[in-house]
Amino acid sequence: MNRSLTVRSGESTEQLEPGTTAVQALKALEAIRGQIVAATVRTDGGEPHVWDLDRPLPTTEAPIDLGVVEAASEEGRAILRHSTAHLMAQAVTDLFPGAKWAIGPPIEDGFYYDFDVARPFTPEDLEAIEARMVELAREKQRFVREVVAREDALEEFAEQPYKVEIIELVDAGTIVSSVDVGGPTAEDEEGLDAPDGPTFTVYRNVRVDGEVAWSDLCRGPHVPSVDRIPAFKLLRSAGAYWRGREDQPMLQRIYGTAWESKKALTAHLEMLEEAKKRDHRKLGRELELTTSPDELGPGLSIFLPAGAIVRQQMEDWIRHETLARGYQPVYTPHIAKEDLWRISGHLENYGELMYPGMDLDDGAAAYRLKPMNCPFHILAFTSRTRSYRELPVRISELGTVYRYERSGVVNGMLRARGFTQDDSHIFCRDDQVVDEVADCVEFARDLYRTFGLGEPSRVAISTRPEKSMAGNDEGWAAAEQALVDAVERTGLPYELDPGEGAFYGPKIDIHAKDAIGREWQLTTVQIDFNLPERFDISYIGADGDKHRPYMVHRALFGSIERFFAVMVESFNGAFPTWLAPEQVRVVPVAADFLAYADEVATALRAQQVRVEVDASDDTLGAKIRSAQTSKVPHTLVVGGSEAEARTVAVRPYRGDQRKDVALEDFVTEVVAEIAERRTHLEDA
């Protein structure tokens, strides 16, 4: 056929020969700007497909709209990283003959590839693999896409059991075509590849002389050749279960990262270093905020006086706010009879995460440490008959819970075995649930703003999982809709996580980004169908009948300990003044001025400012240094001239020094700063 292709990009249109590749067309259209890794192809106004630059355009009568994928975009980096994963797998194949390959997708900030090898990789292996990758990249092998029939793919990868399994999983419909799998794609369905029966795509690394060096089942797309990966680095290896399932073999995973430039890679590696420096365990030790001695046990921490003050500010804020928003405080025990946990279903559904029972001598009763506060709050609710008139009832507590987390998952205060939830359970009528949930989300927003985290970075609504054990279809649908309605009312963008809800109800998870761009899951708002049923709770409606209330569970900090750790890392230990354990340090330039230093401290202390005087016999330089390394927000240097004029020299932790500030003025300033809960995250 002697047809021609019509290609368009922006204002320009060209007629080209069939078989023209994407990059050739883009050149003809003069549509290439900057560094690109792939094209986008759209026909008939349909969805755009990412397209290999060297892949011939589809043969179609309709005009093709072409676009580019820039290297310095999330989509572009994913393509770079995916290509780097292939390059790494090729290097591993070279160095470890007989290695079996599983999957190697791009992930946030990098990529990984899983291998089945005779022995785990060592750090030296990673160096060797990376060196081999550099060599291979110099060979300028091209990535060549090929569509193969299912049978041919099975034959080609007969020695690769995981690839065979992937093909079979695609057959079974267990997985649909993903980045790791060259299974049937939307393109095939649209006839762009004119397949004859089920097909898979294979990407071949082809040497300059045309010899095929390595091939992998893959959906693509990829960069045109391996030397087009500007910067990459292997980071670490770790075990990972095949298909993420514990009953499957453990493979060896290598993590790496790749970027559009050396500069971007360096910036990323520096961010990782920075994150390491800010680790809450390290800063907790250095600033004497917390301690986790081995004698205490894994996943448990002690808040030292300085950390306890920070925590108290957090708790004071949430206590005040919950009261102001109509919550009712309760206190509940740390243990309860095992029967309570049987009724609640925790023993059945959560038993593995509960500490073992405490059996009493007479055997009459066994007790359990609480992994959640909900049953207690239910008992608070059922302590008397409830009327529809008093709903919503909002029961609130800073409740410390204990969960026997598996040994490998414990991680400082971010994943602990004992932690405190700012836990509330709201019992309300059907017509109140949207209001209540929306209020919770707004409450969380206030929290993030107050603690310097800005707006939520992500709101995810998780819907009914397969394993759901409570509620009925209508109930779930209504509850999911209520969550959506509530979030929409707040105006926050959200995404749906289908099937990710808890077994007892759907939930909203809210995330926030810290000062160095890391995202943390903090707030959770969940609807619980399970406990109201199990405890058969009710209220008396206007009709005189019993009705089942909705039960909304919410924890805004999530866990006080986790949030505390996020605060430490986000502020890099340099808390805003209102949170800082020590808000002001008074440094006399010499012992003669201790008396005035004490006067200054007394004036501040009278306004509830947390202030210390450095009465050591260190030199002035050493005292300044000590105040700086302790990250005290304000250091006041006082000597003869200050004592005489009743002023202070102010040296903030960040910002410029100011001399001859009247003591009264400084007190007023710092009191206002604290009262307003000013933060300074932008330059933390």
Partner RNA sequence: GCCGAGGUAGCUCAGUUGGCUAGAGCAGCCGCCUUGUAAGCGGCAGGUCAGGGGUUCGAAUCCCCUCCUCGGCUCCA
Q: Which residue in 431, 389, 371 sits closest to 559, CA to CA? A: 371
Active site residue 553: yes
Is 474 near RNA (CB under 7 A)? no
Catalytic residue, candidates 90, 252, 421, 583: 421
502 sits near RNA (criterion: CB under 7 A) = yes
Identify the three-state secondary structure at position 272: helix
In the complex with RNA, the residue whose CB is nearer, 190 or 500, is: 500
Quick check: 524 binds RNA (CB under 7 A)?
Answer: yes
Nearest CB to RNA, comparing residues 22 and 413: 413
Distance (Å, whole) CA 28 – CA 447: 54
Binding mask 138-177 for RNA (x = CB under 7 A): ----------------------------------------
CA dihedral 577, 579, 582, 586 (to 10 degrees): 10
DSSP code for 373: S
572 binds RNA (CB under 7 A): no
Considering Cα of 87, then 90, then 96, then 101, what sign does the dihedral take?
positive
How would you class 466 by CB atoms within 10 Å of its CB: exposed for 0-12, middle for 13-18, buried for 19 or more?
exposed
From the CB of 620, what's the least distance to RNA, in Å?
Answer: 5
4 binds RNA (CB under 7 A): no
Helix (H, G, I), strand (E, B) or coil at 82: helix
On whether the CB atoms of residues 624 and 638 are closer than 8 A, the answer is no
Binding pattern to RNA, positions 13-42, x when CB under 7 A? ------------------------------
Q: Which of 639, 646, 671, 677 binds RNA (CB under 7 A)?
A: 639
| Whether residue 425 lies in the annotated active site | yes
Q: Which of 621, 656, 682, 683 binds RNA (CB under 7 A)?
A: 621
Phi first, then psi, for residue 298 (nearest 5°) are -60, 140
- The answer to whether 253 contacts RNA (rule: CB under 7 A) is yes
CB of 166 to RNA, least distance (A): 16
> What does the alpha-carbon distance between residue 121 and residue 237 come to, in Å, rounded to a whole number?
7
Which one, 263 or 625, has the nearer CB to RNA? 625
Q: Which of residues 277-336 bind RNA (CB under 7 A)?
A: 279, 281-282, 285-286, 292, 294, 297-299
Rounded-to-integer distance, Cα 556 and Cα 445, Å: 9
Cβ distance to RNA smaller for residue 521 or 608: 521
According to DSSP, the β-strands at 64-70 and 507-513 are: unpaired
| For RNA, the closer CB: 19 or 120 | 120
CB 51 within 8 A of CB 41: yes
Q: Considering CB under 7 A, how many residues would be counted as binding RNA? A: 76
SS3 assignment, position 242: helix
Measured from the CB of residue 644, what is the shortest distance to RNA in angstroms? 8
Shortest CB 445 distance to RNA, Å: 17
Q: Which of 346, 394, 553, 585 is catalytic?
A: 553
421 is catalytic: yes
**Tally of residues, the chain:** 684
Residue 12 Cβ vs RNA, minimum distance, rounded to whole Å? 44
Q: How far is the CB of 664 from RNA (least distance, A)?
A: 18
The answer to whether residue 405 forms part of the interface with RNA (CB under 7 A) is yes
Work out whether 589 is an interface residue with RNA (CB under 7 A): yes
Find tokens 């250095």 and name the residue.
286
State how far the Cα of 503 lies from the Cα of 468, in Å rounded to an integer: 4
Q: How far is the CB of 191 from RNA (least distance, A)?
A: 35
Smallest gap from Cβ 641 to RNA, in A, equals 4
Q: Is 507 one of the catalytic residues?
A: yes
x-or-dash string of contact with RNA, 208-237, rule CB under 7 A:
----------------------------xx
Q: How far apart are the first and last CA of the chain?
A: 65
Phi, psi of 537 (to 5 degrees): -85, 155
Contact 198, 184 (CB under 8 A): yes
Closest to RNA by CB, 635 vs 679, is 635
State which of positions 406-445 bind RNA (CB under 7 A): 406-412, 414-417, 419, 421
When asked if residue 246 is in the footprint of RNA (CB under 7 A), the reply is yes
* DSSP code, position 58: P
527 binds RNA (CB under 7 A): no
CA distance 554 to 86: 44
Part in contact with RNA (CB under 7 A); list of ranges 260-268, 391-399, 447-455, 586-594 = 586-594
The C-alpha atoms of residue 376 and residue 332 are separated, in whole angstroms, by: 6
Closer residue to RNA in complex, CB, 150/346: 346
- Tell me whether residue 423 is one of the annotated catalytic residues: yes
**d(C-alpha 207, C-alpha 107), whole Å:** 27
Partnered with residue 400 across adjacent β-strands are 420
Q: Which of 13, 266, 387, 629 binds RNA (CB under 7 A)?
A: 629
Residues 67-126 that bind RNA (CB under 7 A): 120, 122-123
For RNA, the closer of residues 148 and 416 by Cβ is 416
Confirm or reject binding of residue 239 to RNA (CB under 7 A).
yes
The answer to whether 659 and 646 are in contact (CB under 8 A) is no
Q: What's the CA angle centered on 89, arms 86 and 95, to 5 degrees?
A: 145
The catalytic residue among 125, 228, 374, 631 is 374
Q: In this chain, which of 463, 642, 666, 673 binds RNA, going by CB under 7 A?
A: 642
Degrees, nearest 5: CA angle 480-484-485? 115
Q: Which residue in the set 189, 640, 662, 669 belongs to the binding site for RNA (CB under 7 A)?
A: 640
Q: Which positions from 654 through 673 interact with RNA, judged by CB under 7 A?
A: 657, 659
State how beta strands 366-369 and 335-337 pair: antiparallel
Q: Which of residues 179-208 bind RNA (CB under 7 A)?
A: none
Q: What are phi and psi of 330, to 5 degrees?
A: -135, 160
Chain centre to alpha carbon of residue 512: 8
| Unique residue bearing structure tokens 């002690």 | 302
Report, in Å, the least distance between residue 590 CB and RNA.
4
What gap in Å lies between CA 76 and CA 230, rounded to an integer?
12
- Of the pair 86, 417, the CB lying nearest RNA is at 417
Distances (CA, A) of 566 to 108, 156, 279, 556, 595: 20, 49, 9, 14, 39
Given the residues 425, 445, 631, 680, select the one marked as catalytic: 425
Q: Smallest gap, in angstroms, from Cβ of residue 288 to RNA? A: 9
Identified binder of RNA from the candidate list 164, 460, 620, 671, rule CB under 7 A: 620
Q: Among residues 143 and 520, whose Cβ is nearest to RNA?
A: 520
Considering the rule CB under 7 A, would residue 530 count as an interface residue with RNA?
Answer: no
Residue 625 makes contact with RNA by CB under 7 A: yes
Q: Decide if residue 525 touches RNA (CB under 7 A).
A: no
User: Is 161 exposed, middle or buried (CB count within 10 Å of its CB: 0-12, 13-18, 19+)?
Assistant: middle
- The answer to whether residue 617 forms part of the interface with RNA (CB under 7 A) is yes
Distance, in Å, from the CA atom of 192 to the CA atom of 62, rounded to the nearest integer, reads 12
- For residue 447, the minimal CB distance to RNA (Å) is 13
Tokens 């808890």 map to which residue?
Answer: 502
Half-sphere exposure of 614 (CA within 13 A, CB side): 28
267 binds RNA (CB under 7 A): no
> Binding of RNA at residue 481 (CB under 7 A)?
no
Gap between the Cα atoms of 580 and 310, Å rounded: 6
Nearer to RNA, 223 or 586 (CB): 586
As annotated, the active-site residues are 374, 403, 421, 423, 425, 507, 553
